[in-house]
């Protein structure tokens, strides 16, 4: 069994980074947080996680100036409900696949692209996390536009 760890921006719901591990307890969250900081271009001011001990160690090492909220309750002002909702989406897909077989499975990258750029979110008033973050994908078929732009990236072309 493989375990997915992910980082999401709480305001935009943008799925920033992911890491797949063979273990849940004792997993090293350092690589995940390093990826997240590289993609976001900065460290978070506030980091909200559940009580997994590896998050505490990695947060202290990688985000020493961030306020780390280890909230696991579903009620209250600060919680990780949005992240847990995304985890549920991933688990729903993973069930039909009978689990993640390899750490580098391409399904997660596809799900991340779909989550960030294509799927409208009710909690974002029908916008995508990319829309909310100010990243626009033009065209009537966002998924096709993303695929075409990726295919033409080497040529330096961008398709609208």
**What's the rounded Cα separation, in Å, for the pair 49 and 58?**
11
The answer to which of 33-42, 78-87, 109-118 has the lowest mean pLDDT is 78-87
28: exposed, middle or buried (C-beta count within 10 Å: 0-12, 13-18, 19+)? Answer: middle
For the chain, domain boundaries: 3-155
Specify whether domain 3-155 bears CATH 3.30.420.10: yes
Position with higher pLDDT, 153 vs 156: 153
Beta-bridge mates of residue 5: 19
Most confident of 24-28, 42-46, 154-158: 42-46
99: exposed, middle or buried (C-beta count within 10 Å: 0-12, 13-18, 19+)? Answer: exposed
Q: What is the pLDDT of residue 143?
A: 83
Tell me the angle at which helices 81-97 and 106-113 cross, rounded to the nearest 10 degrees: 130
**Position 158 pLDDT exceeds 60:** no
Q: What is the pLDDT of residue 103?
A: 67
């Amino acid at each position: 069994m493989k375990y997915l760890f992910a980082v999401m921006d709480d305001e935009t719901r943008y799925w920033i980074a992911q890491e797949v591990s063979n273990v849940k307890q004792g997993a090293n969250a350092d690589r995940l947080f390093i990826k997240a900081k590289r993609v976001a271009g900065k460290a978070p001011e506030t980091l909200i996680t559940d009580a997994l001990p590896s998050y505490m160690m990695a947060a202290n090492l990688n985000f020493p100036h961030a306020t780390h909220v280890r909230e696991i309750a579903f009620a209250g002002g600060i919680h990780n409900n949005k992240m847990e909702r995304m985890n549920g989406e991933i688990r729903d897909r993973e069930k039909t696949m009978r689990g993640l077989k390899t750490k580098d499975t391409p399904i997660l990258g596809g799900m991340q692209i779909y989550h960030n750029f294509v799927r409208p979110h009710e909690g974002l008033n029908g916008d995508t996390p990319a829309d909310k973050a100010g990243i626009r994908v033009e065209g009537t078929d966002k998924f096709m536009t993303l695929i075409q732009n990726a295919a033409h990236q080497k040529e330096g072309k961008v398709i609208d």
